[in-house]
Amino acid sequence: MPVQRLNHAVLFVRDVDRSTAFYRDVLGFRVKVEMPGKAVFLQAEGSTNDHDLGLFAVGAGAGPSEAGRRTVGLYHLAWEVDTLAELARIRGALQDAGALVGASDHATTKALYAADPDGIEFEVSWLLPADLITPDIQAAGATTRPLDLDAEIARFGAQTRGGIGVSVPLPA
């Protein structure tokens, strides 16, 4: 199965309108199809997918996900951004929304962790381009440190395109 990319994810949420507002206002998703109060299909900024995220309402009485604590299930989704400047912009939006729960430096990946209104965790990350992965960075790949985003911007540049040669094909 030669997977090329993740096409979309679907989440069960308590209140589809509240979740739609979060993904739209904080992360910039656009509503593509809406079944009021029941389901919404959203497209990420810059995406050409029909939709990238589906939200289905299960009602206010739904309990929290226990995945990873008492049950199996998905830990989080990870969305990749093109530049560290974009990662910094999203960090501000997540902070303003009270949704940012962590920030980690995984050597080749610079990651923000956040939770949506239902506590569903997700990651927004920037991947170091292949030509910047040195042997010392590669060796540090198994470590996790706190993310100093300003230092990473100073080191790699705010507008350096991430993931080139890693998750994004090298230019022809």
Token readout for 131 is 């030509």
List where CATH 3.10.180.10 sits in the chain: 7-59
Q: How many CB atoms lie within 10 A of CB 31?
A: 14
- The Cα–Cα gap between 155 and 170 comes to 22
CB 80 within 8 A of CB 125: yes
CATH 1.10.3210.10 holds for 7-59: no
110-162 residue pLDDT tens = 999 999 999 999 999 999 999 999 998 888 877 899 999 999 999 999 999 99
CATH 3.90.550.10 holds for 76-172: no
Nearest to 147 by CA among 128, 119, 121: 128
In degrees, rounded to 5, the angle at the alpha carbon of residue 102 between the alpha carbons of residues 100 and 103 is 110
Question: What is this structure's pTM?
Answer: 0.92
7-55 residue pLDDT tens = 899 999 999 999 999 999 999 999 999 999 999 999 999 899 999 999 9
List where CATH 3.30.720.110 sits in the chain: 76-172
